[in-house]
Structure 1
């Protein structure tokens, strides 16, 4: 259900092979969601300029059903910016994260929606 998607100018060769598997438990813990529902994806080699330069940069989106909000997002931002800076070398002033709180009826799973699953 939660999905942390990162698009970055960082080349694929510089993305640690275990980055996504290391990031899932961090995301799950931050959101208080079960790991089996969490997804992390990285799209490397995206031609991108941030502030007029092509130094390492990224744009990210965190989608979740709940667990997002003004105060919660501050905590999520701290954890996720730290993760991306440590693992991908993208400094926190070279990336934006958008937070997307989706209603259960807007997220499909197992041939239906979470609205139908959760009742």
Structure 2
């Protein structure tokens, strides 16, 4: 049930369906989860300043999952793939993007009218 949310000052017009599909597939692969459980939410056109610069492309993201995130190794392995992917597709340089990792308890997430645990 990974949920990836990215808020960016990049124009929504530059956020393609192909990018969302690529991101979804990559997150499923990285977290060893079925892609049918992956949710990707990219919100463009945000007023966002990073390091005092509100004009250059920047972003703030959160990746939440039941397991598969949380350790330094897991988070670094994921970041090494997601940062370049986002830079390639949206032009957000890797030093202008934060990704927060949140490991959720199975009982904290509901889907299809029941929690995962």
Following superposition of structure 1 onto structure 2, how do residues 1-119 of structure 1 map, counting pairs within 5 Å?
1-54=1-54, 55-68=56-69, 69-115=71-117
Q: TM-score, normalised by structure 2?
A: 0.95
Task: Give yes or no for contact 1:8–1:58 (8 Å, CA) kept in 2.
Answer: yes
Q: What SS does the aligned partner of 1:21 have?
A: helix
Structure 2 residue runs without a partner (length 5+): none
Dislocated runs of 4+, deviation >2 Å: none
Q: TM-score, normalised by structure 1?
A: 0.93
Per-residue deviation, residues 92-111 of structure 1 (Å, max 9, x unmatched): 00010000000000001111
| RMSD of equivalent CA atoms | 0.8
Aligned length: 115
